[in-house]
Structure 1
Amino acid sequence: MKYVALLPIIDQEKNTQHRPAHLAYINKLYHEGKIMAAGPFTDGKGGMVIYVADTYEEALELAQNDPVVIEGARTLELREWGALTLPLEL
């Protein structure tokens, strides 16, 4: 299953401080096959990560262990995502 983590920034100073650890964490999980995609929003107010996990609980644990979440730089909203395979057959 896929799970989308929305990560709005709530403390810009903490975010700047912990961003290198966040990026290293995301990169590590990507190479382990636990992240499908990740990136910032163009308005500079946060970003999104799409986790690949067997359960919501697994995805939640991965998302909650992100350094920017642990350090209170960003909040976390995690939702299961029903990704469709394109093109759709009508």
Structure 2
Amino acid sequence: MHYVAFLPIIDQEKNKEHRPAHLAHINDLFKQGKVMAAGPFTDGKGGLVIYIADTYEEALELAEKDPAVTSGARTLELREWGALNLPLEG
């Protein structure tokens, strides 16, 4: 299953401080096959991560360990995502 984590920035200073650890966390999970995609919003107000996990609880655990979240730099909203195969029919 896929889970989308919305990560709005709530503290710019903390975000700058913890960004390297945040990126390392995401890269490590990508190498483990636990992240499908990630990136910032173009307005500079946060970003998102698409996790690959067997359960919501697993995805939540991965997302809550993100240094951007644990530091209080960003909030976390996690939702299950029903990825569709393209092209769409019907």
Smaller-chain TM-score bracket:
over 0.9
**Percent identical across equivalent pairs?**
79
Root-mean-square deviation (CA, aligned residues, Å) is 0.3
When normalised by structure 2's length, the TM-score is 0.99
* Aligned: 1:13 with 2:13: yes
1:8 CA displacement? 0.1
* Aligned: 1:38 with 2:38: yes
Query: Hey, what's the Cα distance between the residues in 2 that align with 1:89 and 1:53?
Result: 26
- The aligned length equals 90
When normalised by structure 1's length, the TM-score is 0.99
Query: Where in structure 1 are there 5+ consecutive unaligned residues?
Result: none
1:89 CA displacement? 1.8
Query: Where in structure 2 are there 5+ consecutive unaligned residues?
Result: none
Query: Hey, what's the Cα distance between the residues in 2 that align with 1:26 and 1:88?
Result: 30
AA at the equivalent of 2:20: P
